[in-house]
Structure 1
Amino acid sequence: MQGNGEDQANDDAAKAAGFASPFDHATWFDLLEAYGFAGEGRVDARGESEGVTAWLPLRREKAGHLAGLTNWYSFSIRPLFSGSGDRSTALADLFGRLRERTARLSLYPVPDADRASIVAALHAAGWWVQAASAGDRHWLDLSNMDHDGWWESRPGALKNTVKRKAKKGIVDLALFSAFDAEAWAAYETIYAASWKPEEGDAALLRAFAESESARGTFRMGLAGIEHQPVAAQFWTVEDGTAFIHKLAHVEDSLKASPGTLLSAALFRHVIEVDGVKRIDFGTGNDAYKRDWMNRHEPLWRIEAFNPSRVAAWGPALKAFARSMLRKET
């Protein structure tokens, strides 16, 4: 568990680099550890160089294999830094120290913007490295657009749906900027009745929502029909970016499009009230995300193998063989 001082240092460094997220905070990794997502044990890897400290929270998958401390709620895993100076050297030092502790390292999901620096630092530290695209990320780049300019650029079918369904007045919407126990209970009820298969960890998600509310970043929307909640969304807002974490709706309410109307209301709120310039739809390549977003990037899985450990040779051979087969096909 990290101290508040280190958490603040990493928060500030992430903001200085641009677009800090909830997944750049020590509190997030502490939650993952507390709720049983640290595998066989948490490992906080660190490296230093001339006043710069690099930090990468990991979990022990099994003997000789470390992986990024993430779960299915995580949008990303990337090194975090404090101090000013040469980050690449600090990161190479981190990976160099890890070679003394493990045979293999797995990182996923790695953002496209961080892939090259991570791969370069691993190579500099003497690892064998395999990086492969493994997933998708859709996000909205508002640039100089206001809400109306962005909305005008959306597909006609989406705009027509929102206009028609809103005009009917069947769906009531409520937005929250702080955690509300009654609203969260409604979300859990909606999720249980939704089209989604059982997934995730309800206790962790609630603890995360409460933690984000305490930080002032929490946003939530509920849609109801005849006073019955039928759709819910959990977002956060930070450092000029809105993050869409979880969506749920009751399947038999689809004709009224409550989820679509709720999305439209939350997009308007975070753009006009919170003033965000980016909206991140997280991992996944669901077709509906393209209706709302204007940018798409791959996410990366990075596998690194320690050549000084015999235990790494077999997995490395298999990984590079798979890579060659993909290239041939």
Structure 2
Amino acid sequence: MAFVLKVYHASLNEAQADAGVLGVQGASPFERLDWLALLAEMCLAPAAPRISVATDGARVAALPWMEAHGGAEALANWYNFIVSPLGDSALLSEITRTLPAGRASFAPMSEKDAKALAAALRCSGWIVISEPCDMNHILPVKNRSFAEYWAARPGALRETVRRKGRKGEVALRIVTEFSAADWDAYETVYKLSWKPGEGSPDFLRRWAEMDGAAGRLRLGIAEIGGQPVAAQFWTVEGGTAFIHKLAHDERFRKQSPGTLLSAAMFEHVIDRDGVSLVDFGTGNDPYKRDWMEEVRTRWRVRAWRKGAVRHWPQMFRAMVRAMVRAMGKHKLQPLVSPNRDG
């Protein structure tokens, strides 16, 4: 039986009614249509969310995006660890050929997905720049127990947990079901922390409710004398623990409640949930190196249609910056091979 290729651009609500699109969702919150729909509803207005779909009956590819700043941009904001095309990458060029925009920008992406999207854009006639944009710290568990993982942490970190935990001042609990009281405790700690104001607290609450109902929520609370002093919002999905939000009350810094809570959270997801990966999101914060063991580069793909004249100035500026970066990187290469003797 021969299948006819079909390409269409739908709303997220339409896509959620399409079994083929639902079937190519990924194994992270950022690749689920319900999460993307919630993000679009509560965080991305007035941008218009879309999902472009190509199907030939047997295969399906989908690309979530939004109309913003005069072009097609990733359906994302600071809550996304990653953005991804979904499904069969062999059909991506059919989508990029029909994107109703003169420019496009997608980030942060894995190297594999960035290469696939960049290749599809070039194949359909776009001018493309693909470049690193961020770092992602991860912990591949490698079938270790928490005790085995913990034995490999820096000595200063382990000593802090040993000393402060022995004092018994900090009470720790980890909940997997949403409750308004627990979430209120999280929000109270966040407001007292060093963190900037939360971009969309209502979105986070709805997300926690949604993932609590699905069994994916891991909310950690540390208390001193019954008062919440540290809180962490994690989720577990597809064998990965995602660390979304950390906060602690600066007034209790000496008791290290955030560090104690982190150790308890890692123990929970490794020994109880049996995850194979812990993902600390984007950002190259130095403290992440104490807990994680590998770093992945995240990529940005930018593209312009050759005929979109009004975008040419932006395109040329971006190309010049990319060439300057490439030349600077080239200059840093050793003149002598590191394997050469002498």
Q: Please, what TM-score do these two structures have when normalized by structure 2?
A: 0.88
Provide the residue aligned with 1:93 in structure 2: 94
Residues in 1 aligned to 2:22 and 2:249: alpha-carbon distance in whole angstroms: 37
The residue type paired with residue 78 of structure 1 is S
Deviation at 1:226, TM superposition (A): 0.9
Provide the residue aligned with 1:21 in structure 2: 28
Residues in 2 aligned to 1:178 and 1:216: alpha-carbon distance in whole angstroms: 7
Contact 2:16 2:34 (C-alpha < 8 Å) held by counterparts: no
Are residues 1:162 and 2:161 paired? yes
1:245-264 aligned within 5 A: 245-264=244-263
Residues in 2 aligned to 1:219 and 1:149: alpha-carbon distance in whole angstroms: 22
Residues in 2 aligned to 1:95 and 1:4: alpha-carbon distance in whole angstroms: 18
**Any gaps of 5 or more consecutive residues in structure 2?**
1-11, 329-342
Are residues 1:78 and 2:79 paired? no
Residues in 2 aligned to 1:92 and 1:235: alpha-carbon distance in whole angstroms: 35
Provide the residue aligned with 2:152 in structure 1: 153
Residues in 1 aligned to 2:236 and 2:125: alpha-carbon distance in whole angstroms: 38
Residues in 1 aligned to 2:110 and 2:180: alpha-carbon distance in whole angstroms: 33
Which segment is superposed worse, 42-51 or 88-97? 42-51
Residues in 1 aligned to 2:291 and 2:19: alpha-carbon distance in whole angstroms: 33
Contact 1:235 1:243 (C-alpha < 8 Å) held by counterparts: yes
Provide the residue aligned with 1:84 in structure 2: none
Contact 1:44 1:56 (C-alpha < 8 Å) held by counterparts: yes
Deviation at 1:154, TM superposition (A): 1.1
Contact 1:49 1:89 (C-alpha < 8 Å) held by counterparts: no
Deviation at 1:143, TM superposition (A): 1.6
Provide the residue aligned with 2:317 in structure 1: 318
Which segment is superposed worse, 72-81 or 116-125? 116-125
The residue type paired with residue 91 of structure 1 is L
The residue type paired with residue 60 of structure 2 is T
Partner-residue secondary structure (3-state), 1:154: coil
Contact 2:128 2:304 (C-alpha < 8 Å) held by counterparts: yes
Q: For residues 301 and 49 of structure 1, do their structure 2 counterparts lie closer, same or farther at Cα, with a shift above 3 Å needed?
A: same
Contact 1:43 1:58 (C-alpha < 8 Å) held by counterparts: yes
Residues in 2 aligned to 1:4 and 1:297: alpha-carbon distance in whole angstroms: 31
Which of 44, 51, 69 does residue 44 from structure 1 map onto? 51
Deviation at 1:121, TM superposition (A): 1.5
Deviation at 1:176, TM superposition (A): 0.1
> Over aligned residues, Cα RMSD in angstroms?
1.7
Q: Please, what TM-score do these two structures have when normalized by structure 1?
A: 0.92
Deviation at 1:8, TM superposition (A): 6.4
Contact 1:175 1:222 (C-alpha < 8 Å) held by counterparts: yes
The residue type paired with residue 143 of structure 1 is K
Provide the residue aligned with 2:202 in structure 1: 203
1:213-232 aligned within 5 A: 213-232=212-231
Percentage identity across paired residues of the two chains: 42
**Rg larger in structure:** 2
Are residues 1:284 and 2:291 paired? no
Contact 1:47 1:95 (C-alpha < 8 Å) held by counterparts: no
Are residues 1:55 and 2:62 paired? yes
Which segment is superposed worse, 108-117 or 184-193? 108-117
Contact 2:47 2:68 (C-alpha < 8 Å) held by counterparts: yes
Deviation at 1:36, TM superposition (A): 4.0
Partner-residue secondary structure (3-state), 1:31: helix
Provide the residue aligned with 2:125 in structure 1: 126
**Any gaps of 5 or more consecutive residues in structure 1?**
82-86
Contact 1:48 1:93 (C-alpha < 8 Å) held by counterparts: no
Partner-residue secondary structure (3-state), 1:2: helix
The residue type paired with residue 246 of structure 2 is L
Deviation at 1:114, TM superposition (A): 1.7
Deviation at 1:9, TM superposition (A): 5.0
Which segment is superposed worse, 176-185 or 139-148? 139-148
Contact 1:122 1:129 (C-alpha < 8 Å) held by counterparts: yes
Contact 1:176 1:220 (C-alpha < 8 Å) held by counterparts: yes
Contact 2:193 2:250 (C-alpha < 8 Å) held by counterparts: yes
Provide the residue aligned with 1:2 in structure 2: 13
Deviation at 1:62, TM superposition (A): 2.9
Deviation at 1:5, TM superposition (A): 5.8
Deviation at 1:311, TM superposition (A): 2.2
Contact 1:243 1:282 (C-alpha < 8 Å) held by counterparts: yes
The residue type paired with residue 97 of structure 2 is G
Deviation at 1:11, TM superposition (A): 5.7
